[in-house]
Chain A
Amino acid sequence: MDKQALIDYTLQLADNALIIGHRNSEWCGHGPILEQDIAISNIALDYIGQARNFYQYAAALIGNGATEDSLAYLRDAIDFKNCLLTELPNGDWAQTILRQFFFSAYQYFLYQQLQQSTDQQLAAIAEKAFKEVTYHLRWSSEWVIRLGDGTEESRERMLHAIEELWSFTGELFEATTYEQQSVNDGYGVAFQEIQHSWMKKVGLVFEEATLPIPAANIWMQSGGKKGIHTEHLGFILAEMQFLQRAYPGAEW
């Protein structure tokens, strides 16, 4: 059993949740409809919760005084393993919705499987998170449909969002060495099956939203899971980690 792979695998789950949660939380107070402001903040809150659970587990595995906060606040971008999709700027509501839909669909199938993980901690966290993600997927699917099949403008904006985001969806299913190891060691989820389920789900929702699926030969961006990020992550961390960096060792 490769312990470092388990740590990396867990950190990747945590980083994804933290970074997309951070992005969604930027909407708090600025949403287009009060009810939706609440909904997206609630999703952000679910993510912070998921991130904490995964970080706490990773910290326990790492030992040496690591904590959920040292992992979130004292690592630099090179050590963050979140997918590029999660760190992209919010853009307009269409872009935020589409990112959420792509990612929720991914997490839905991932957590569904992860509940059966041989690692009991991961299985337990996934079980709790699966309930939340099920709601996120329903909410974001409904919005994709509403915007795709809403007005001319909302459709245009969704088409633009697809153009912006589609090339970041490939990375979700591209296994890194630690993900490969997680499958070999029996606690991780193999991507082949969930990629198929994801495509099917996206196809169904896009069809109802009257939106086109992009061509299969589009070049896919990747790197986040290996610590090679977009320029955006550095700014997220600069903002998020400010107090911990400016006042080292202080209790808050």
Chain B
Amino acid sequence: MEKDFEKIFQDKIDQEIKIEPRDWMPEKYRQTLIRQISQHAHSEIVGMLPEGNWITRAPNLRRKAILLAKVQDEAGHGLYLYSAAETLGISRDEMYEQLHSGKAKYSSIFNYPTLTWADIGAIGWLVDGAAIMNQVPLCRTSFGPYARAMVRICKEESFHQRQGFEILLTLSKGTEAQKRMAQDAIDRWWWPSIMMFGPTDDESPNTLQSMQWKIKRFTNDELRQKFIDVCAEQIKVLGLVIPDKDLKWNESTGHYDFGKINWDEFWQVVQGNGPCNKQRLETRKKAWEEGAWVREAANAYAEKRKQRQTVTAA
């Protein structure tokens, strides 16, 4: 019986028919998706913090409005993603609980600090750029609600990326101090950004199953290479340097070769030792705990209203 269901399920996937919340699905497929979608949602919410850090210091009114709108978009993305995960039978509060307890992860990139205005540009260009590389294939992912959320998200993300690049472009044409700021931001964000694609394929145990279920469409290394190829060209427009002395065009592979990634750093940050892990999580927990009375009041009021309406109706 189970076998039949599993066959129908895999047939659907093979025929590119979306899996919907009420369809039968293997428990591991459900769990993988809950993990991935909630991790993605948490990344949007935690990701608001490093950029939010510069909303009150944005250099002019136009930039302020764009940045605020961008960070607000991320809250919106978090909302779509939490909703998509909820269709798999987990509540938003449970997901928050997992984030706060450290059980659920979020993208490690947000454990790095935003030290200058140029970081806002670098995040847009590199971090959002890497995110888009990961996310565009997710618009065709096999689980319907996730795929549909991603279609909306990708539209906004590409706008964010252009904004980030434009910030860097403006800085690169600016004063010496501004150019220095831009180069420094790229120096700090480059390696963490290419680590965003996750461990190399031979170190990524979940990839095979996820590809078979068409949750993932490309491997980590494929996406990373694609991203590096794009950035290696774009940096020329900025007249700045990617901090990798081994980065060079390889005629025979048709790709850029790149230097050794410091996976020790990657795992250290994943395990909680990045520069801002504690700070980010504490900030989220604080917002949640300090908001408890607000949520209680909203529930209590909704309850009172319902009762009054019942009384009036009777």
The chain A residues found within 8 Å of chain B, CB to CB, are 18, 22, 25-26, 28-38, 41-42, 44-45, 48-49, 51-52, 55, 68-69, 72-73, 92-93, 145-147, 149-151, 153-154, 157, 236, 239-240, 242-244, 247, 250-252
Contacts and interface: CB of A to CB of B under 8 A. Distances in A.
B309 interface: no
Contacts of A150: 296-298, 300-301
The prevalent SS among residues of B at the interface is: helix
Contacts of B102: none
Contacts of B294: 32-33, 36, 93, 147, 154
Given A38-B79, A150-B300, A151-B297, A242 B57 contact: yes
12 contacts: A18-B61, A25-B64, A28-B71, A28-B72, A29-B287, A30-B286, A48-B61, A146-B301, A243-B59, A247-B178, A251-B173, A252-B63
B295 A32 contact: yes
A72 B174 CA distance: 21
Interface in B96-111: none
Contacts of B178: 247, 250
Nearest to B64: A48
A45 B65 contact: yes
B175 A250 contact: yes
B287 A31 contact: yes
A126 B75 CA distance: 29
Interface string B55-88: 1111111111100110110011011001000000
A37 B75 contact: yes
Contacts of B31: none
Contact of B69 (A36, A45, A55, A157): A45
A31 B291 contact: yes
A236 B55 CA distance: 12
A45 B55 CA distance: 11
Contacts of B300: 150-151, 154
B207 interface: no
A73 B62 CA distance: 12
A41 B117 CA distance: 20
A51 B69 contact: no
Nearest to A49: B65
B21 to A, nearest CB: 21
B68 A154 contact: no
Contacts of A44: 68
A42 B72 contact: yes
Given A28-B55, A92-B290, A34 B82 contact: yes
A25 B294 CA distance: 19
B293 A252 contact: no
Q: Which of B62, B75, B178, B292 is the most central at the interface, judged by chain A CB atoms within 10 Å of its CB?
A: B75
Interface stretch (B5-13, B45-53, B157-165, B217-225): B45-53
Nearest to A56: B61
B170 interface: yes
Contact of A146 (B59, B60, B175, B298): B298
Contacts of A49: 65
Contact of B61 (A38, A69, A151): A69
Contacts of B212: none
8 interchain residue pairs of minimum CB distance: A32-B291, A150-B297, A154-B297, A252-B59, A29-B48, A32-B294, A29-B52, A243-B59
